[in-house]
Amino acid sequence: MTQQKANKGPFSKLRAGAEGVLDKSNTPTNGCNYQDLDAIVQELQVHQIELEMQNDELRIASEEAELQRLKFESIYDLAPIGYFILNNQGIIEEVNAAGVKMLRAGRAAIKLKMLQAFVSEEHTDKFYRFYRRLVTSHDQQSCQLKLITHEGQNLYVLLEGRAVPISSKCYVAMVDITEGIESRQHLAETKDRLELALEASSAGTWELHLPSMRFFLDENNQRICNATEGGFQETYTSFIDLVHPDDRFKIDQHFRTAINEEKEIDITSRFTNGDKQCVANIRGHLVMGAAGEQRFAGIMWDITEKRRLEEKALHAEQNERKRISETLHDSVSQLLYGIKLQLGQLDKTSKPAATERLNQLLEMAIKETRNISFELAPSTLADFGLPATLAELSERLSTPKMKITAMVSGFDRPGDPLLESTIFRIIQELVNNCMKHSGASYVRISLKKNKHIEITVSDNGDGFMLDHPDHRPRGAGLASIKNRLNVYNGNLMLDTTPGQGTTVKITLNG
Do both 389 and 510 map to the same domain?
Answer: yes
Beta strands in 17-140 (DSSP E): 82-87, 92-95
Summarised one tens digit per residue, pLDDT across range 26-36 is 555 445 455 66
Last residue of a domain, one of 257, 282, 302: 302
Q: Is the pLDDT of residue 486 over 70?
A: yes
User: To 5 degrees, how large is the angle CA 387–CA 393–CA 397?
Assistant: 155
Rank 22-31, 45-54, 228-237, 356-365 by mean pLDDT and report only the highest: 45-54
CATH number for the domain spanning 295: value is 3.30.450.20
Cα–Cα separations (whole angstroms), residue 380 to 109, 410, 413:
94, 18, 14
Cα-only R_g, the chain:
49
Mean pLDDT over the full length of the chain: 80
Percent of the chain predicted with pLDDT > 90: 24
Cα–Cα distance for residue pair 11/2, rounded to 1 Å: 13
Q: Is the pLDDT of residue 471 over 70?
A: no
Residue 159 pLDDT: 94
| pLDDT tier, 158 (very low <50, low <70, confident <90, very high otherwise) | very high
CA 115, distance to chain mean position in Å, is: 42
| pLDDT tier, 335 (very low <50, low <70, confident <90, very high otherwise) | low
Element holding 484 (H helix, E strand): helix 476-487
> Residue type for 101, please?
K
Give domain status of residue 332, yes or no: yes
CATH number for the domain spanning 486: value is 3.30.565.10
CA 430, distance to chain mean position in Å, is: 38
Do both 143 and 205 map to the same domain?
Answer: no
Summarised one tens digit per residue, pLDDT across range 355-390 is 676 677 677 766 666 666 666 656 677 778 889 889
Give domain status of residue 453, yes or no: yes
Do both 351 and 390 map to the same domain?
Answer: no
Cα–Cα distance for residue pair 217/240, rounded to 1 Å: 13
Residue 1 pLDDT: 40
3-state secondary structure of 217: strand
Query: Which residues span the domain enclosing 158?
Result: 82-181
Contacts of 246-255 spanning 24+ positions with Cβ under 8 A: 246/270, 246/451, 246/452, 246/509, 247/489, 247/509, 250/491, 251/282, 255/208
Tallying the residues shown for the chain, one arrives at 510
Question: Is residue 438 within 8 Å of residue 462, measured between CB atoms?
Answer: yes
- Any idea what DSSP says for residue 1? -
Do both 292 and 207 map to the same domain?
Answer: yes
Domain count, the chain: 5
Do both 414 and 364 map to the same domain?
Answer: no
Name 302's bridge partners: 280
Do both 394 and 509 map to the same domain?
Answer: yes
Cα–Cα distance for residue pair 230/222, rounded to 1 Å: 10
Do both 493 and 404 map to the same domain?
Answer: yes
Give domain status of residue 236, yes or no: yes
Residue 316 pLDDT: 76
> Residue type for 350, please?
S
Q: Which residues have a Cβ under 8 Å from the Cβ of 12 and sit 6 or more positions away? A: 6
Question: Is residue 37 within 8 Å of residue 27, measured between CB atoms?
Answer: no
Do both 457 and 416 map to the same domain?
Answer: yes
Residue 3 pLDDT: 47
Counting Cβ atoms within 10 Å, is residue 81 exposed (0-12), middle (13-18) or buried (19+)? Answer: middle
Residue 295, phi-psi category: left (phi > 0), alpha (psi -120 to 50), beta (remainder): beta
Do both 176 and 265 map to the same domain?
Answer: no
Q: Pinpoint the alpha helices (H) of 441-475.
A: none
Cα–Cα separations (whole angstroms), residue 162 to 58, 119, 170, 505:
32, 19, 6, 76
Give domain status of residue 189, yes or no: no
> Residue type for 309, please?
L
Give domain status of residue 186, yes or no: no
Q: Is the pLDDT of residue 255 over 90?
A: yes
End-to-end CA distance of the chain: 125
Residue 319 pLDDT: 72
Give domain status of residue 191, yes or no: no
Of the listed ranges 190-194, 205-209, 269-273, 457-461, the least confidently predicted one is: 190-194
Cα–Cα distance for residue pair 113/251, rounded to 1 Å: 68
Last residue of a domain, one of 282, 302, 322: 302
Q: Is the pLDDT of residue 301 over 70?
A: yes
Do both 153 and 274 map to the same domain?
Answer: no
Do both 431 and 333 map to the same domain?
Answer: no
**Helix 386-397, helix 352-376: angle, nearest 10:** 140
Cα–Cα distance for residue pair 458/447, rounded to 1 Å: 12
Residue 497 pLDDT: 87
Give domain status of residue 193, yes or no: no
CA-wise closest residue to 257 among 247, 244, 270, 266: 266
Can you tell me the mean pLDDT for 398-417?
Answer: 88
Residue 113 pLDDT: 92
Contacts of 305-309 spanning 24+ positions with Cβ under 8 A: 307/279, 307/486, 307/487
CA-wise closest residue to 445 among 482, 479, 395, 483: 395
Q: Is the pLDDT of residue 148 over 50?
A: yes
Residue 6 pLDDT: 42
- Any idea what DSSP says for residue 263? P
pTM metric for this prediction: 0.49
Give domain status of residue 57, yes or no: yes
CA 404, distance to chain mean position in Å, is: 49
| pLDDT tier, 121 (very low <50, low <70, confident <90, very high otherwise) | very high
Do both 389 and 509 map to the same domain?
Answer: yes
Last residue of a domain, one of 377, 396, 421: 377
